Amino acid sequence: MNAPDLLEISPDRRLAYHRTAARGDGKAAPGVVFLGGFRSDMTGTKAVWLEDWARERGRAFLRFDYRGHGASSGGFLDGAIGDWADDAAEAVTRLTEGPQILVGSSMGGWIALLLARRMPGRVAALVGIAAAPDFTEDSMWAGFDTEARAALLRDGRVELPSDYSDEPYVITRRLIEEGRNNLVLRDPLPLPFPVRLLQGTADTDVPPEVALRLLGHVDCPDARLTLVKGADHRFSGPRELAILGATLDEVTGAISQGL
């Protein structure tokens, strides 16, 4: 795999990225930006599959790593939701042109919503894959028992077991507290463009109830939720990827027709 390019934002803040240029008929369609999840990076199955999908259609595509993730600079434990949303805003502003379709996976769905609130003119549509808005508050903090909350406040961190790694998830006090500055499900959330939410019924990390809550919360004239029976949080099997591709084709058509 080719080495990523680096976007230097400051001497100690560099974002690694891969960018695919539009060509042919794809130049007339919005570009696609993939926003990854918590502790994931741009080499994951969905990100690479989307790059191939975009290249086949001549579409502009961007995948990148937030600071502290993958090949970007910084330490993971130093970051929080607002930092990673800032990274995404820099990437969209400096590495893309015109309105983009934001594809946010898990935490990336939250970050996509933050971008839509911050820079709606640069968003053509939003596709959430097991989107996890406000998860630091509604999942992590709400799920901590009294002992875990006390440890977090006392020590500044708490360790949680991970289903995806032998290493535990380390949750910092700053992640929780800073997340409260970026909640999107407490206030009105206008999204004046197509929104598509993809959600597996077997997702134990972000259950379908979260998708239903998000669907009910957004102020959007064209919002749809697709529940996929048996799909888990990864949403990266052949069936799920085919659904993702079909969703992007459909939403592109909706954009072109002004629906």
pLDDT above 80 for 162: no
Q: Which of 40, 105, 106, 236 is catalytic?
A: 106
Residue given tokens 């968003």 in the structure block = 123
Q: Which of 105, 203, 205, 236 is catalytic?
A: 203
Residues 118-131 pLDDT 10s: 999 999 999 999 99
Which residues have a Cβ under 8 Å from the Cβ of 128 and sit 6 or more positions away?
104, 109, 112, 113, 195, 196, 197, 198, 211, 214
Model-level pTM? 0.96
Let me know if 256 is a catalytic residue. no
Residues 38-82 pLDDT 10s: 999 999 999 999 999 999 999 999 999 999 999 999 999 999 999
Residues 129-148 pLDDT 10s: 999 999 999 999 999 999 99
Let me know if 106 is a catalytic residue. yes
> pLDDT category, 259, cuts 50, 70, 90?
very low
Mean of pLDDT over the chain: 96
Residue 229 near residue 239, CB atoms below 8 Å: no
